[in-house]
Amino acid sequence: MFCIIERVESPFSDEESLAVLNRYVREWFVGNFDELTPPQRYAFKLIAERRNTLIASPTGTGKTMSGFLSILSTLFDKAVNGTLKERVYCIYVSPLRSLNNDVYKNLTEPLEGIYQIIKEDKGVDILKDNIRNVTIAVRTGDTTQKERRRMLAKPPNILVTTPESLAILISSSKFVENMRGVEYVVIDEIHELANNKRGTHLSLSIERLQSIVGRDIVRIGLGATLHPMEEAARFLVGMDGDEPRSCAVVDTSLIKSMEVSAISPVKDMIYTPEQRIEAAMYKEIGRIVKMSKTTLIFTNTRSGTERVVFNMKRRLKYKPEDIAAHHSSLSRESRLEVEGLLKQGALRCVVSSTSLELGVDIGTIDNVIQLGSPKSVTRALQRIGRAGHTYQAVAKGEMIVLNRDDLVECTVMLDAAMKKHLDSFSVSKNALDVLAQHIVGMAIDRKWEVDEMYNVIRHAYPYATLSKEDFMAMIDYLAGNYVGLESRRVYGKIWYDKETGIIGRRGMAIRPIYMLNLGTIPDEVAINVLELKTKRWIGNIEEEFLSRLEKGDIFSLGGKLYMFSYTAGSKCYVSEAKSSAPTIPPWFSEQLPLSFELAERIGEFRAAFAESLMEMDEGEARRLISQPSIKSIPKSAKAILDALPVNEYGRIAIFRYFTEQLLFAGEVPNNRYILIEYTRDKMADTNYIIFHSLFGRRVNDTLSRVVAISLGAMLGQDISITINDNGFVVNTEEETEINEDTISTLMKRVVAADIDVLLKGNIRNTEIMRRRFRHVATRSFMILKNYMGRKMSVNRQQMNSRFLLKALEEIDPNFPILKETYREIFEEVMDIGRTRDLIGRIERGEVRYKFIETRSPSPFAHTILTFGHADVVLMKERNDYLRYLHGLVLKRIGVKGRKGRG
């Protein structure tokens, strides 16, 4: 068999597809369905040929059946000829327990149906020939001891499970005997796994399973579309030597037609009072909900979800039985209840943060409204794809925007979605903490020769390029070689003999330690917020949010403002703030980052649209935007806007936004043109250097640090930064003189910098380093959450991670746990690779930059600055500030403002 990832472009005929099925299975299928769905036209035959197959298709296209029917067919072949044994033939893995239960139900029915047909056909022969039904069971963390024992004695033919439970099963010495004959693995919602450590973990489990089975397992991946599909396929099938194993790729994700639009609720997003904008927004929501039977609303944040539900009841008079909230902070029961009501079609509207993006069957949704940008095309498509329950139906989606950057972003995003230009994803490569777990697991299973183990691991695509040095460093760590001989009994998790190169289990205790501590999802701490003086409990914040807080920062909690003082363990002390605006938005941790690709597309749009506005002269431009209407937009600019999915108000607002920027600054920054704006904010009495850099938030996160560190070194100052999707702000000390020369020296330094070294030195002392380090140390079994029958509180896990970090650095600056922490931060939180590319392009002049000085911030700087000032909850505050900034701008460009009018 030659190794190739092959896109299968043309479907098989229905006859061909049905011909591959067992006659009873076929009879059942034809009796229950009128026709094959698009993915089924590919999948039945491909899987019947036992080919690894990756299928991308929207919900409502019979995806599960497309992956399973050919498997059921071979299982019933065995049943009919009496060779079906009591053992596992097929393992189904999904990241969601609720999806497991869905699949169990959705397969039980066909199994019963098909068996019924066989019974009717065979009559009493069914007993004589010993024809049994194909069995199925779910195994997750929720499975009771009793069920587990029964499963061990009578293993199901189809095992439905999660990645974590699968990892436990392959290391359980008894149950693994039931899995030696596994022929198929089905991975559902593969798009939720391929890009994270949970998926990395699963990929190693599957390679280990394959090594236990001793021959190739047929792998089937199901999911929403991923770009590039070939990368997802490699993740699914793994490697055979240096080449990926072969895989057929079926992408029918584009079959659903869509009707989408970005909606600005008002013509003027700056001068319309906040109450009017809000009223217009709910009016718009009300209109859409009324038109549809069931509407799904995404708000991006949990607090937003609560607020929208509240307002829909208050303003639009929806009754509690018509509308429900669904987000991850709600209890499992209430989420299941909402899902149940949705399936029954009993709700008019459900509001979700992001939790309903995932594939649980939620029945008929006609319309999907998104409040604010989902920040990536792929996510936008996934959400819109929730509408239109069959693939023939049109999926309707609206994005209601909250500010002018949001408007441009959503418009460009929906255009990209219509054209199916997706953001790319990436697989986490060579994650050392996940590797640690599997080495321990493998050592528990049996003895290994070092190279034999190394080779099995490299069959998993995320570890195809794992270096022998990193692997051996991990073996050293796990063998406890970082402590003296006498303590290895406690510290060592594996036993490694350097002479013979044999790896094995160390001690009896390691098996329960492994079983109780495996997995990749870190425990999160709810931080208690207490009033400093009175020690009164105020509320909870997330640890991620705490990690961004510095002393003196002001944030809102439960509708009030507090100043952060200090933190001790899982407590955070604050005092009531006198100030009127928070310095940190509370939803920071929940906020989704703008993707690189989308940022690039926004940049391209900016360049093209700004170009089209050049035909206006200054006087004309001033006149046109003082009373803007759709008719006042010049022809070539209007042509660009008319081709985009955005409402009329939105078109006017975009036109006005860009024209103001041109009049004010003479420049519109784009993805090949970074504007570096030095400006003064009179209200806050501060100077800013604003980098209009449009490369997605992860690149901005990285680049802003490189810039700040370089500038700090130049000036001998501490520099503070504020990061946003559309740029970042750098603050220097008050008296510092910044001019063109400063910036050109700065950019030379940035270009010449070794950013790896620079960033390592910088993030060593940050909270994010400590937090990620704790996660990595926990995943690598250095900190055991669950040990000798006691569970360690996250609070204790947190303890002294600073000294622990220092101690490891002293042992070896490349200690595997440190190395992984840096990798995770550089590659998953930041984006060091693309930042390096960007700096290279700046060096070669492919991306240019220009320094300008402005007397007040230019229009495109407003949202960048506002992000640091206020948050969505206190929109009023933010609007005041925006209005103030804008007033300054209008004065400079000589347009009369329309203060106070809507």
Partner 1 sequence: MMLDEDIYLPDGLPVAYIKSINTLVVSDLHLGYEGMMAKRGMLIPKVNLRSIEDIITKSAEETGAKSIIVNGDIKNEFSNVETEEFNEMLDLIRMAERLGLRMTLIKGNHDNFVDRYREAFHLEIHSQSANIGEYMFIHGERRPVIRGRPRMMIMGHEHPAISITNEAGVRERLRCFLFGSYKGIPLLVLPAMNYFAGSTDINMADRDELLSPVLEGVNVDAMHAIAIGYGSTIDFGTISDLRRAGPRAMAGL
583 binds partner 1 per the rule CB under 8 A: yes
Interacting span for partner 1 (CB under 8 A) from 178-186, 208-216, 484-492, 872-880? 484-492
Residues 6+ apart with CB under 8 A from 555: 541, 545, 549, 561, 562, 564, 582, 583, 584, 585, 586
522 binds partner 1 per the rule CB under 8 A: no
Which residue of 82, 241, 512, 552 would you call a contact of partner 1, by CB under 8 A?
552
Burial 446-459 (b: 16+ CB within 10 A, else e): eebebeebbebbbb
545 binds partner 1 per the rule CB under 8 A: no
Q: Give backbone dihedrals phi and psi of 396, rounded to 5 degrees, phi first.
A: -105, 135
Amino acid of residue 642: D
718 binds partner 1 per the rule CB under 8 A: yes
797 binds partner 1 per the rule CB under 8 A: yes
722 binds partner 1 per the rule CB under 8 A: yes
Residue 544's nearest CA partner among 186, 856, 794 is 794
795 binds partner 1 per the rule CB under 8 A: no
| 639-658 binders of partner 1 (CB under 8 A) | none
571-576 and 526-531 beta bridge pairing: parallel
Paired tokens of 311: 């307002």
Q: Which is nearer to partner 1, 551 or 631 (CB)?
A: 551
Amino acid of residue 708: A
717 binds partner 1 per the rule CB under 8 A: yes
Long-range contacts at 227-233 (CB < 8 A, ≥ 24 apart)? 227/378, 227/422, 227/423, 227/424, 227/425, 228/424, 229/7, 229/54, 229/56, 230/5, 231/194, 231/424, 231/425, 231/426, 231/427, 232/54, 232/56, 232/190, 232/191, 232/194, 232/425, 233/5, 233/52, 233/54
Min dist. Cβ of residue 861 to partner 1 (A): 12
Q: Which is nearer to partner 1, 345 or 512 (CB)?
A: 512
Mapping DSSP to helix (H, G, I), strand (E, B) and coil, where does residue 367 land?
Answer: strand
> How far apart are the C-alpha atoms of 785 and 679, rounded to whole Å?
50
Alpha-carbon torsion (863, 867, 873, 878), positive or negative: negative
Min dist. Cβ of residue 584 to partner 1 (A): 9
DSSP-derived secondary structure letter, 667: -
Paired tokens of 86: 């009591």
Q: Which is nearer to partner 1, 428 or 722 (CB)?
A: 722
Min dist. Cβ of residue 586 to partner 1 (A): 16
Min dist. Cβ of residue 61 to partner 1 (A): 47
Mapping DSSP to helix (H, G, I), strand (E, B) and coil, where does residue 61 land?
Answer: coil
> How far apart are the C-alpha atoms of 323 and 503, rounded to whole Å?
58
Site string for partner 1, 860-889 (x = CB under 8 A): -----x--xx--------------------
Min dist. Cβ of residue 784 to partner 1 (A): 3
243-244 and 184-187 beta bridge pairing: unpaired
> How far apart are the C-alpha atoms of 522 and 434, rounded to whole Å?
12
Interacting span for partner 1 (CB under 8 A) from 78-86, 108-116, 424-432, 478-486? 478-486
Which residue of 804, 829, 842, 852 would you call a contact of partner 1, by CB under 8 A?
804
> How far apart are the C-alpha atoms of 772 and 829, rounded to whole Å?
10
731 binds partner 1 per the rule CB under 8 A: yes
Contact at 8 Å (CB) between 793 and 779?
no
> How far apart are the C-alpha atoms of 827 and 830, rounded to whole Å?
6
Which residue of 15, 34, 469, 486 would you call a contact of partner 1, by CB under 8 A?
486
Residues 6+ apart with CB under 8 A from 872: 301, 304, 372, 402, 585, 587, 878
494-497 and 502-505 beta bridge pairing: antiparallel
Q: Give backbone dihedrals phi and psi of 636, rounded to 5 degrees, phi first.
A: -70, -35
Which residue of 104, 588, 787, 884 would you call a contact of partner 1, by CB under 8 A?
787
> How far apart are the C-alpha atoms of 105 and 361, rounded to whole Å?
12
Which residue of 30, 509, 639, 807 would you call a contact of partner 1, by CB under 8 A?
807
Min dist. Cβ of residue 870 to partner 1 (A): 11
782 binds partner 1 per the rule CB under 8 A: yes
35 binds partner 1 per the rule CB under 8 A: no
Residues 6+ apart with CB under 8 A from 391: 37, 38, 57, 58, 60, 61, 255, 256
Interacting span for partner 1 (CB under 8 A) from 34-42, 250-258, 727-735, 875-883? 727-735
Mapping DSSP to helix (H, G, I), strand (E, B) and coil, where does residue 57 land?
Answer: coil
| 662-701 binders of partner 1 (CB under 8 A) | 681, 684-688
550 binds partner 1 per the rule CB under 8 A: yes
Paired tokens of 721: 């930064």
DSSP-derived secondary structure letter, 646: B
Q: Which is nearer to partner 1, 313 or 802 (CB)?
A: 802
483 binds partner 1 per the rule CB under 8 A: yes
Min dist. Cβ of residue 309 to partner 1 (A): 32
Min dist. Cβ of residue 595 to partner 1 (A): 25
Interacting span for partner 1 (CB under 8 A) from 284-292, 420-428, 480-488, 882-890? 480-488
Residue 865's nearest CA partner among 763, 757, 729 is 729
Which residue of 154, 287, 623, 796 would you call a contact of partner 1, by CB under 8 A?
796
Total residues contacting partner 1 by CB under 8 A comes to: 54
712 binds partner 1 per the rule CB under 8 A: yes
Q: Which is nearer to partner 1, 352 or 520 (CB)?
A: 520
Which residue of 786, 814, 846, 891 would you call a contact of partner 1, by CB under 8 A?
786
Q: Which is nearer to partner 1, 316 or 784 (CB)?
A: 784
Contact at 8 Å (CB) between 298 and 352?
yes
Burial 467-497 (b: 16+ CB within 10 A, else e): eeebbebbbbbbbbbbeeeeebeebbbbbbe
Burial of 872 (0-12, 13-18, 19+ CB in 10 A): buried
580 binds partner 1 per the rule CB under 8 A: no
565 binds partner 1 per the rule CB under 8 A: yes
781 binds partner 1 per the rule CB under 8 A: yes
Min dist. Cβ of residue 84 to partner 1 (A): 45
Q: Which is nearer to partner 1, 484 or 619 (CB)?
A: 484
- What is the signed CA dihedral for 839, 843, 849, 852, rounded to 10 degrees? 110
814 binds partner 1 per the rule CB under 8 A: no
> How far apart are the C-alpha atoms of 244 and 237, rounded to whole Å?
7
426 binds partner 1 per the rule CB under 8 A: no
Which residue of 269, 676, 706, 783 would you call a contact of partner 1, by CB under 8 A?
783
Q: Which is nearer to partner 1, 256 or 772 (CB)?
A: 772
Query: What is the DSSP secondary-structure string of 151-208?
Result: HHHS--SEEEE-HHHHHHHHT-TTGGGGGTT--EEEE-SGGGTTTSHHHHHHHHHHHH
509 binds partner 1 per the rule CB under 8 A: no
Which residue of 576, 620, 733, 741 would you call a contact of partner 1, by CB under 8 A?
733
Which residue of 788, 896, 899, 901 would you call a contact of partner 1, by CB under 8 A?
788
Interacting span for partner 1 (CB under 8 A) from 316-324, 365-373, 614-622, 799-807? 799-807
779 binds partner 1 per the rule CB under 8 A: no
Min dist. Cβ of residue 805 to partner 1 (A): 10
Amino acid of residue 181: G
Which residue of 104, 491, 587, 588 would you call a contact of partner 1, by CB under 8 A?
491
765 binds partner 1 per the rule CB under 8 A: yes
Q: Which is nearer to partner 1, 596 or 773 (CB)?
A: 773
Residues forming contacts to partner 1 in the complex (CB under 8 A) are 482-484, 486-487, 490-491, 550-552, 563, 565-566, 583, 681, 684-688, 712, 717-720, 722, 729, 731, 733, 765-766, 781-788, 790, 792, 796-797, 799-800, 803-804, 807-808, 810-811, 865, 868-869
